[in-house]
Structures are given as C-alpha cells and as structure tokens.
Structure 1
Amino acid sequence: MASFTTIWVCFVFTTELALPHVEAFCRFKNNHDQINVTCRKETKFPSGIPQNAFLIDLSHCKISSLQRKDLQSFSQLRIFRIAGSQLRTIENTTFDHNQQLNVLDLSRNSNINSDTTKTFICHLARMNRNVRELYLSVMNITTSDFYDIIRCLEKTQLTVLDLSSTIKGSLKNYTFSKMKSLRVLKLGSIYPVNLRALVNLTLLNTLRLSDTKLEEIPSFYDRDTNATLLPSLTALYLDANYIARLPSKSVGLDNLEFMSMRSNRLMRFTASDISTLSTKLNTLFFNTNKGIHIEECSFSESVTRLELRDCRIAFSRNVRTIFRTATHMTGLSLTKNTFDQSDDALGTIFHPMPNLTHLSLEYCSIKHIPDTTFQGLHRLIMLTLRGNRISKLSSKHFRDLHSLESLNLAENKLTMVYEDVIKSFPPSLKAVDFAQNPFVCTCDLLWFMKLFRGGRIVFLETDTNDAYKCYNPAEMAGKKLTSFEITDADCVHMSLGVKLIIMISGIVCFVALITLVVYRFRWYIGYGYFLLRARRREAMEVSGQTQYAYDAFVAYNKNDLTWVKDELLPLLEDEAHLRLCVHDRDWLCGRDVIDNIVQSIESSRKTLLIVSNAFAASQWCQLEMTLAQHRLLAEDRNALVLVLMEPIERRNVTPRLILQMRQQTYLEWTDDPVGQKLFWKKLLRSLKKQSGSIVHSSSVDRPKPEFSEDGIEPGCVDVDVSDRTPLSQRAHV
C-alpha cells in the first residue's frame, strides 16, 4: 500500500508552472516532481491546480458535487481524497479521464444516495482498471446495493477495500470469494462476524474487525477443510470489542505478526497465551485495557514492539520482571500508567531490554528518575518523558544513551538544567523538548540558555506561545526565554549582588514572619502578660501588700453608655460611695488598649460586666471578659460580677459567655420598678462583700445564706435605692 504524508508547507512555484490563480485554502508541495495539493474549507472544486498534479486532497471541505469537468484535465492524477466533505452528488463519468488513478477515498460522505453510490462505483469499476485502493467507510449504502457493488468490484484488481461502518448486519458466505487480489480489508462495525465471507482470500494480509462486539478471538479455521481461511494474514485489528482473554488453543493465525486489541476487556495474559496465538507475533497493541494484570515474564523474545498505553498498571516491585524475557524489544510505550516511587521499580525495569530504540513514559506520575533507569540502553534513539513531575535531572541519566537523537521532557517541574546535565547529552542528540517547564531565569540557567541558542540541537515547540518562559524570579515571570539576555560577564558581577539580595531578603522575611506571628497571636501574648501580672498580684495579696485603686472596673459597650451614666454611676458612686473605673472617663489617652484593660482589671477589686447584645458582639468586650475570667482562675477568688441587660441573641452567644453564665449566678436588669429595687440591692451586695476563694472553699465552710420575704438577705445594704432620680437632676455629693 502506497503511503503519502501531507505536509502543510506553502510551496512557491516557479514561472514554469504559470499559475494565474491559486485558491486561498490550498497548499502545494513539489515532492520529486510530483505535485501534491491539499485544500481545506473549499465550497467548490478549487481552480488553479496544476494539471500534472499527482495527489489532490479535498478532505473536510464542503464540496457538495463532483463532476467530470472538475477532473478531466488531470491526466496524471494518482491519488484523490474527498473524505468527509459533505458530498451529495457525484457524476458517474467524473474520473473517466483519470486512467492513472490508483487511490480513491470517498469515506464519510453519507449524504450521497445509496443508488448514486452504486451506479458510480460500478461505472468506475468498468472504466478505471488501475484503481487499487477504494475507501468507502461510513457511507449510506443499503444491503442490496452493497452486494451489487461487490459484484461490480469483483472485476477489478483491488488490493485495499475499506467498508468500515458501511454495511449493516452479518455478511453472507463467500461475499469476497472472487476478490482474490485483496490484501487489506476493513470491516468495522459488522456483527455478528461471519468469517465464511472471507473464503478464498489467500493473499489477504491485513484484516480489521474493530467494533464488531466480539467476546473472544474467533477461529480462522475452515470447518470444511480444517485449513486456515487466511493463510497470508499477518496483521489483525480487533479494537473496541469485548474480548477478555486470549485463546488457550490455536485459532488458525499461525503467520500472524501484528495484533491490535486496543479498548477491549483483557484481564490477564501470559507468554504462553501469546505463543499459542502465533509464534511469529512480534507487535502487540494492548492500549486502554483498564486494570489488566500482566504475569511475570509475559513477553517472549519474539516480541519487538509493545504498547500498553492507559492500562492503569501500577509498576512496582511485584511487576518489574514482566519484561525479563523480552530481550529483543525495540519499541515500548507505557504512557498513562504509574510507577511506584517507593520501591525503585523504575531503576531496573528496562535493564533486560538492551535493544530498545523507542521508549515512551508520558504522564506516568514520575517524580524522580533513579540514576540506573536507562543503564545499558545504548541503542535508544527516542526517549519521551512528557507530562511527568520530574524536578531534577542528573548527568548520570544520559551517560549510557549513546544513540539518543530525540529527548522529550516537556510539561514537567524542571526549574533548572545545570551545566553537568548539558555536557552529558550525547553528541547524537538532535532534538529536545523542554516546553512548559517552570524555569527560574537566573545565572544557574546560563548553560541551558547556551544550548537553547546554540543551534546544535533543535528545540521543539519554540514557536508555541508560552512554551518556553520564565516563572521566577518575579521580575522575569511570564517572559519568554528568548528575551532572557544574560552572559558570563553578567553572572560574574551578579554573584555578590545576588548573595546580598538573598541575605537581605532572608532578614526581611524573618522580621515579617515575627511581625505576623505577634499580630496573629496578640491576644495570647496579652493573656501571657496578664497571667504574669496576676501571679505577681496573687503573691502580694498573700503577704497583705495589695492596694486597689478602684472597687470595680465597669466593662460595657458604648451602646450601653447612657444606662451606665444615668443609672449605674449615680447609685454606685454618688450614693454607695464606691470607686469605679470607667474607660470613657478614667483611661489614659495614647496608651495601648490592651494595657489599659489589663491595668484597669488589676487595679480594681472586682470587674463588673454589663452584658448586652452589643457587648457580646464586640471583640474588645469579649477580650475584657476573657481577661476577667482569667483573673478569676489565676487569683482563685470571686472577682467577677455579671449583669445581663437583655436576652442575648443566638448569633451573639459565644462559648465563653455560655460557660460564665452556667458557672456563676448573674443579675438581670428589668424594666419593672420592684425588680429594679431588688436588682440594685443584689448588685451592691455583690460589689461590697469580700472576695473569697472559688476553688478551696466548700459547702461546709460557706456561711448559710439567710433570706427575707423578698428574697434578699436582710441588712446587707444600707443605701436608700428608692430614689431613682437621673444623674443629671441630682446634686453631686
């Protein structure tokens, strides 16, 4: 089968071609005096194509019709492709003047009427005797028209016929028996498979039975003669089926050399299973068989090429011997599997295969390459490690790769490629790919930049946007490597400056870290400071040296200031003659808030908390309560009085407030006059009585409380609280 590769290069024709006009979406290539034309996006047959064109490719255009006048001037045309171009009509005599035509591809033009296709193919079979390859995949052909087409093609010398996804249902016996010249036959998406349709195809060497719902590899023995139906078959494609295992006995494929079983359900196989299938089998494509289990030494010496892409194999110590007997392996693809980094399986798994020339390990989650990984691979030509997590290269990685020509390390985590690594590259290396790596553009990258600009090695993807760019330092982030200008002289002068910058940066970072820690834990630092002060005051109290400046420190929110000024202060200060510390009046200006809080609590015999919703929602008020609670525990005395001004909403309730209210009886303010009288009596008694221990006292030691009819201990308050005239209307004492 002739193979032609379309290369998208704009060819500049000489004056000998004398082209008056060339279509905008066409590309031309002169390949040894053979003009190859490739067009895309055309809506009609393009003009301006040289009459001596050898190949015309109009695939994926939007040409709805082909006529005789379109192609009658191309007498040297050998290959014509118009696959997937939305063809609707095609004139029977379209190729009558193209008697040199060898290859015709009409695939994926399902809009053509079945009868039109049949009439055209039968006319082509009569008029163009040189057609050898015909591609009719994914066409709209009825069953009756299909068999009429086959009868017409029996008169030709076709060697390649593609009918994938074109025919429905199973084939009749002897369908292709008269097409004895066939060498390649593609029959995808037919089921059930009837191998009797292939009788007499003694020259057939390639067969595709992809997507045919096969659950096992069928037998190719003729049940009448017990001989193999396809004695020349060397390549078999069974992709996208449901096959779960290889056959345990011969199926008549003794000459098979190539097998593709991609996207099946293979669970496991051994070397004996492969040899049973064919002793000549040397190429295996087992890609996308999820969860496949491979036994030890599963591949014999006969296997030279193997693909196990995307099989979810975890290569570890337990499976690193699967290639022990594959000593003649030359091509191996393990892309999209994983390597266990913990047991160093990657370091030895390839050692039994010294003949490897192509190795693909793309997207295998490799973080570290052991120094022994490629040991002994002297013949390796192409190595692909794209899409891993490799962050460091060693000169030992490449010391045995004497024949390496292509190296792909794109999409890894490489920030630097050092001088010793560059020098370890073999002289044979011609192309490398380091695209999409997070390079740090400093003097350490100098040797890599020399290689990048040197020209001895081709860097792939250099024209792709952001393929090679700096990620660090910050001033270089996002810039392309081509704009990173640095020389040896720059690096000599920069070395001292870089060290100085690093040192200063370290000091700045340390100071910033300390500042951040102090800011983040400022409340806890305040706690510690308060604890030390509390311990000191506790010792002074034991020795009788404690002197308080205030009877109580009043902690309240600014929203409750009116109540404090008009209700609380007049009674406690003017009438009960208590000394109160109120932050709006008694705090020193310019002093730190925390210092003022701590000083006020320590200078007061007790702390009075005026709790409201505003108080509970305030961070500073919460801090005052926390410090007061800490003093309560640290000094082991009841120095905290809590007044509840109103019901606290659930969203404002904190764990500390709940704990305090559960552990200590608190006073509740009320609008009822009788209740207010009781409230003031209780509050005065709480502020005037001595502070006793809350830890060491017991129910036995405490005096039994006495109650009057109104529930208040009699005689504990000698202040008249019946007069509730506001502070503004009273004369100060």
Structure 2
Amino acid sequence: MPWCTLVVIFLVYMYMCVRCNSSSAQNSQCPEQFCNCSKRQVSCEKHGHHLPFIPPIPKDTLVLKFTGNFLPLISQETFRNVTSARLKELVLGGNGIQNITSDAFEVFPRLTFLDLSGNQFPVSILRESFYGLRHSSLKKLFLIQMALPDLPLDMFEYLQNVSTLQGISLNYNNISNLVGSVFSKIRGLRNLGLNNNSITNVDFGGTHLEVVRLRWNKLTTVPRFCDNARKPLAPRLRVLDLGHNLISQINRHNFCGSCLPRLRNLTLDGNLFHKVPNNTFSDLPSLVRLSIKYLRSFDITFETTCFNSSSMRLLYIANHMSMFDSKSRTDYKNIFRYCRGLNVLDMTRIRLTTYDGVMLYELLHHLTNLTKLVLQSTLVLTLPENLFSRMPFLGSLHLDHCYLSQWKLGVFRNVASVKTLYLDHNEIAIINQTSFPAELLRGLKQLSLGYNPYLCTCDMVWFREWTGNNTKVMLNWPYAYKCKSPREWATKLFSDFSLSYSYCHPLSPYVIAAISTAAGVVLIVIVVGLFYHYRWHIKYFFYLMRARKRGYEPLPGGDDDFIYDVFVAYHSDDRVWVISELIPCLERKEKLRLCLHDRDFEVGKLIVDNITEKINSSRKVLLLLSNNFIQNRWCKFEMAMVHARNVEEDRSDIVVVILENIRTQNMSNSLHVLLKTTNFLEWSNKKSAKELFWKRLVASVKPESCQ
C-alpha cells in the first residue's frame, strides 16, 4: 500500500476521533438555559409554551423531570435528543399532552418509573400509549389528576407481561367504580392508590393487591372482601385505607379473619360512624395497626371489647370526645383490658380531664407494654401516681398542650425508660429539683418544656443550671423558653435568667447566732462577747437618761414652726447604727434636732398619734430602709404617712437611706414607686464612701439657713 494512501487513512481516522470527542463533549453538557442538572438528574420545569421540546441532556442522565412545559404530542421524535441517555425515571407532568403515539416509549427499555400526572386526554389514547411499555422494566406508574373516568376492562392489556410493575397511583381522578378485573391482568401489581376519587362501589375480585388506598372517596359501607362462597377476594391484602369516606356503620362482620387473613394495617379515619361495637376487629389474625382518628361525630362510643385483639400493637384514636363525661357510654375502665399487647397508643384531643387522676389510672393501667403514649391536647389537669411506673418499656411520652401546672412526686418515680418527654404548651411555672427524679433525667434524649409561663425566681435557679448543662436534650432551646414573671424578667429568654447563690441562700440569723455562741468556749470569753455584742444598747440607755435631763439646745437660725429638724423612721434592730453613726454626726456634730421613737415618743399615747404628731412637727423625714424595716407594720405605716403628706401638700421632704440590699420578695409596689420618685443614699462601710455619704446626708437634712 502506497504511503500516501496510509497518510489519507490516518488523517480520516484522526478527523473521526476529533468529531466523536466533540460530539461526546457536547452531549455531556447540561442545557442550563432551561434545566438544572445534578447527580445524573435533569429538571426542566415551568417554562410553559417557551419550551415545546426536550433539549439534549448528558448521556449519563438517569432521571428526567420535564414538567410544566408544552408537549401537546408525544412521539419518538419528541425524545430524539435524549434517546442516548439510559433513562430510568421519566416525569412528564403538566405538559398539556393531548396525544401519545403507541410506540413513543419504546425508546426507553430501561424505564422503571413513568409519571404522566396533570395531563388530560382521552382514556383510549392513554391505553394505547402503554403499548410502547410492553417490553419495559416499569415498576411504578403515576396517573394522578388526569380527570380519568371509570377505566375499561382492557385498560392495562399491554402491561400484562410487565412483571416488574408493582404500583399504580390514580389519585385525584373521577373514577366511581373500582373493578378488580381491570388490574387483575397485571400479575405483579401490589400497590394501588385511588385516593380523592368519587368511588362508591368496590369489587376486589381477581386482584393480587397488597396495599389499597381509598382515602377521600364516597363509600357508604365497608367493601366486601369475600365472595358468596366465603372465599377471599383480596387474600394478600396487608394495608387498607378507607379514611374520610361516608361509612356510617361498622361491625365485626365487615372484618372477617377468613376474608382478610393478612391484613396488618387498617385505617378508618374521618368517617361518619359514631360507635365501635364489641369485637369489631377481634377476628383479624394479623392486625397490627388500627387508626380511627377524627370521626365526624362528637358523640363517640367505644364499647367494652371494641379493641379486643391479641395481635394489635399500634392504636390511633385521636378524636373530639370526652372519655370521662357522665353522659358517655364508653366503658373507660375496660376498653383497653383486651388489647394489653399495645405498644403505641395515640389519644390526641380526647378530653381526659380528671381532678384526682384516678379515672386516668383506671383507663390506662392495663397497658403495661406501651413504648409510646400520646396524650396531647387531652386537658389532663392531674397525673396519677404510679401509672407510668407500670410501663417499663415506655420510651416516648407526649403530655403537651394539656394545661398541666404541677404533678406529685410519685408521677415520674421509677420511670427510667422514657427517652423522649413532651411537656410543652402547658401552665408549668416552676420546675425544681423534685420535679423529675434523677434517673429519669439521666436517661432523657429529648425533653420539650417550651412555651410555659415560667416564674423566674430563686425556685427556678436549679432548672436554669440543669438546662445550661443539657442544651442538646432541650427541644426548641432557647427561643421557646421565656419568663412570664416577675416584672423584671418578663418576656426575657430563660437562658438569660440568672440569680446569685448568695441572693437565693441568705445566711440565716440562727446560723449566725449558733456560730457566735460556739465561739465562746470559756465563760470569760462568753461574758466579754455578750458585753461587746450589747455595748451599744448599754450606751443607748445611758444616752437616753442623759438626754431627758439635758433636753435640746435650740439651734441658731432655726425655724420655730418645727420642733424637730429630722424625724427618723427606723426599725428597732437598726438602733445600733442610729446610736453609733447617725446621732454622733447629725446631733452632736451638726447640732440638728432628731426625733427618735425610742427616746421622744410620749409614754401612754397611742402609737398612731405619736407617729402622726412627730412627723408633722418635723421639717424632714429620714427613712432608714432595711429588710426588717420593710417587714414591720409600724415602719410601713410611717412610710405611708410620709408619702401621703408629700402628695397632699406637694412637698419633697423625704430623705431615704438604704442600709442593706433589699431582697426581691420584700420589694412592694409602694416601695418600688418611692425609690423611683425619690433620690436615695446607700450606706457603705468603706471609709471613702462614708465621707461622701455623710456630706450628702447633711446637705439633704440641714436647713438652708444653716448651710
């Protein structure tokens, strides 16, 4: 072969390689103008008439979602840009499809899921379109919201050899009759969805179905599951949903075990019947889950053995009814006696109000195998003691939205198995160390206590410390936890709440006395200690004797309208400070006339008269505030008299001195107002602070003519 021929062949080969690589690169690109691509999935959605074709997609695409666009005709030509992709899932919902050729889907032999929902065209065209799927690997077929009427008997004739097809969804159509023979040709079909149709008649004959969902239809009676010869029409049926139909009555003959030998999951929610008769489900040998929620009646009766079942493990009976009402015909003491194997019980919204918890105990004490108990929104005001301790496997307990405010110590005793506890949206104000046993708290994985009206006082300090160390356990922390009172903490996050240990644990006077007494070991030390402890009382006694003999010396430049310069309101326990600090400074040094109740009140006159007369005879009033002062009724009377005189006579002659920190529980509204409207001085033992204190106090009480 001449060398020139070899060169030509080589050049042609190189050209073809470049061409192929270019084409491959082009096919691997995502049509970003119309679509989003990620992990072998392409989504081209909601372009309407602006996208009347399927653009080229990467070859490795497995899922194509082409919805909300415009494809009136589906044929093999429609898929010319995507035939190289080995699609397994194809979604063509809402594309205004009017026609599909019979061979359109033959280009996708590996297709396992097809969704034609939201397109409305004749049933005959839909039937013919299945011809292209006769050799496919289809597993699921969605035909939702397509305005489909009753289906012809040969609707799925072309799919009878597709052994992989297991599920068909026909939700939201106009089907009124479920005819089993329509689906009997699809031998692999196990799951059929017919929710939200207008079905009034059901015939299961010839089907191999395991899951049937007939929710939101117009059934007035429970369908027949046996033929006239008592042979089961759907012997493989495991899951049956008849919720939200118009069924007005049920009984044990509707659910025979020989007709439904494998039924495990039965849903009857939202129907019209108001009574569940005795032994309605007792003949179902495989029943595990039963749901009878939100029946359209407020006068619901559960007869004594209505839940009789040895196999049932999950029971959902959330309804708007009262269990303990005197008019109720439900035998609450025994309705759970015959289903002791229950693991899950949901009684949401059933009114379970009881003021001593006895009836609630009688209702639930048979259920010793529960792992989950839901009592949400049941208005349980009182929890019985020793109920939950009878449930050693209880792992999840829902007591939210129940108006609970407190519970007895024995309610959660020996309940270490609970891992999830919901107590949110109640009326719980205080949680302390006795609210939950330590073994319960140690085992909790989730605790919900949000949206309660917490009283943020010293009683909540322990809970605040516990939550700080267990934030991972607390659900909705911290935004769902807020203080409601007192005023200084209202609306603030509980996570910001903080009170010091010393504030909440003040040293008791008895402890101080015990320490002082213990210090005296020797009699002489005791005598010296007592003399030292009462030295100011002794000095005060001699001072009174001397003052009564000497009387007052008039101040130069004083105002003769007042007998005293300052009326001193103080508690007897604070007289030591008056004698040792106040009198030496104001009387001896500044020559002011002080009125002291121990010294200047007239003997034999009523205390009220003494207080009133002496206050009116004084130019200024000095309030020496302490915790003892605030708690004493006569001291509070003096404070009220002074405040009233200031308001009535529009005067501002009150001088307030705070001798110690005032505890929150002693802070009354009137005292709060006084401190807000009056400048006050705070006593301190520091030398530098003392000098400033006396300078300001003297300036506040001394007559202007003497300053």
For this structure pair, what is the TM-score category when the shorter chain's length is used for normalisation? 0.5 to 0.7
Letter in 1 for 2:477: T
Letter in 1 for 2:361: G
Letter in 2 for 1:164: N
Return closer, same or farther for 1:71/1:387 CA change in 2, 3 Å cut-off.
farther
Return closer, same or farther for 1:333/1:172 CA change in 2, 3 Å cut-off.
closer
> Which residue of structure 1 aligns with residue 613 of structure 2?
none
Q: After the TM superposition, which residues 231-630 of structure 1 pair with which residues of structure 2 at under 5 Å, given as runs?
A: 231-249=235-253, 251=256, 252-276=259-283, 278-289=284-295, 290=297, 291-300=299-308, 301-315=310-324, 318-342=331-355, 344=357, 345-422=359-436, 423-455=438-470, 457-462=472-477, 466-485=479-498, 488=501, 491-492=504-505, 500-505=663-668
Return closer, same or farther for 1:469/1:49 CA change in 2, 3 Å cut-off.
farther
> 2-side partners of 1:37 and 1:444: how far apart?
59
**1:394-439 residue CA offsets vs partner (Å, 9 max, x unmatched):** 5533333322221112211122221233535343311122222222
8 Å CA contact 1:137–1:166 kept in 2: the answer is: yes
Q: After the TM superposition, which residues 126-145 of structure 1 pair with which residues of structure 2 at under 5 Å, given as runs?
A: 126=134, 129-143=136-150
The 3-state SS of whatever aligns with 2:388 is coil
Shift of 1:204: 1.6
Shift of 1:22: 9.2
**1:641-699 residue CA offsets vs partner (Å, 9 max, x unmatched):** xxxxxxxxxxxxxxxxxxxxxxxxxxxxxxxxxxxxxxxxxxxxxxxxxxxxxxxxxxx
> 1-side partners of 2:64 and 2:417: how far apart?
39
Q: After the TM superposition, which residues 148-167 of structure 1 pair with which residues of structure 2 at under 5 Å, given as runs?
A: 149-157=155-163, 158-167=165-174
> 1-side partners of 2:484 and 2:37: how far apart?
38
> 2-side partners of 1:27 and 1:406: how far apart?
41
**1:571-622 residue CA offsets vs partner (Å, 9 max, x unmatched):** xxxxxxxxxxxxxxxxxxxxxxxxxxxxxxxxxxxxxxxxxxxxxxxxxxxx
Letter in 1 for 2:126: K
Aligned CA RMSD, in angstroms, stands at 4.3
The 3-state SS of whatever aligns with 1:427 is helix
> 2-side partners of 1:439 and 1:50: how far apart?
59
1:218 aligns with 2:227: no
Letter in 2 for 1:461: N
> 2-side partners of 1:461 and 1:27: how far apart?
36
Letter in 2 for 1:280: S
Shift of 1:130: 2.0
The 3-state SS of whatever aligns with 2:389 is coil
1:191 to 188, 194, 199: 199
Return closer, same or farther for 1:64/1:391 CA change in 2, 3 Å cut-off.
farther
The unaligned stretches of length 5 or more in structure 1 are 1-17, 29-33, 512-733
Shift of 1:443: 3.4
Return closer, same or farther for 1:470/1:88 CA change in 2, 3 Å cut-off.
farther
Return closer, same or farther for 1:457/1:124 CA change in 2, 3 Å cut-off.
farther
The 3-state SS of whatever aligns with 1:462 is coil
8 Å CA contact 1:303–1:328 kept in 2: the answer is: yes
> 2-side partners of 1:444 and 1:38: how far apart?
58
Shift of 1:307: 0.7
Letter in 2 for 1:218: P
The unaligned stretches of length 5 or more in structure 2 are 1-27, 509-626, 628-659, 675-707
Overall identity of the aligned pairs, in %: 22
> Which residue of structure 2 aligns with residue 102 of structure 1?
112
Return closer, same or farther for 1:219/1:115 CA change in 2, 3 Å cut-off.
closer
How many residue pairs were aligned?
A: 473
Letter in 2 for 1:191: I
Letter in 2 for 1:193: N
Shift of 1:171: 4.5
8 Å CA contact 2:174–2:198 kept in 1: the answer is: yes
Return closer, same or farther for 1:113/1:348 CA change in 2, 3 Å cut-off.
same
1:227 aligns with 2:231: yes
Shift of 1:373: 3.4
> 2-side partners of 1:51 and 1:307: how far apart?
48
Return closer, same or farther for 1:40/1:470 CA change in 2, 3 Å cut-off.
farther
8 Å CA contact 2:45–2:69 kept in 1: the answer is: no
Letter in 2 for 1:505: S
Letter in 2 for 1:360: V
Shift of 1:164: 2.8
Shift of 1:89: 3.5
The 3-state SS of whatever aligns with 2:667 is helix
> 2-side partners of 1:94 and 1:482: how far apart?
63
Shift of 1:474: 2.2
Moved more, 283-292 or 452-461: 452-461
Shift of 1:331: 0.7
The 3-state SS of whatever aligns with 1:421 is coil
The 3-state SS of whatever aligns with 1:275 is coil
8 Å CA contact 1:36–1:56 kept in 2: the answer is: yes
> 2-side partners of 1:48 and 1:452: how far apart?
57
> Which residue of structure 2 aligns with residue 680 of structure 1?
none
Q: After the TM superposition, which residues 45-60 of structure 1 pair with which residues of structure 2 at under 5 Å, given as runs?
A: none
8 Å CA contact 1:236–1:260 kept in 2: the answer is: yes
Return closer, same or farther for 1:103/1:478 CA change in 2, 3 Å cut-off.
farther
> 1-side partners of 2:496 and 2:108: how far apart?
54
> 1-side partners of 2:481 and 2:409: how far apart?
22
Letter in 1 for 2:292: F
> 2-side partners of 1:295 and 1:441: how far apart?
47
The 3-state SS of whatever aligns with 1:446 is helix
Q: After the TM superposition, which residues 73-92 of structure 1 pair with which residues of structure 2 at under 5 Å, given as runs?
A: 75=86, 86-89=94-97
TM-score between both structures, scaled by the size of structure 2: 0.57
8 Å CA contact 2:200–2:220 kept in 1: the answer is: no
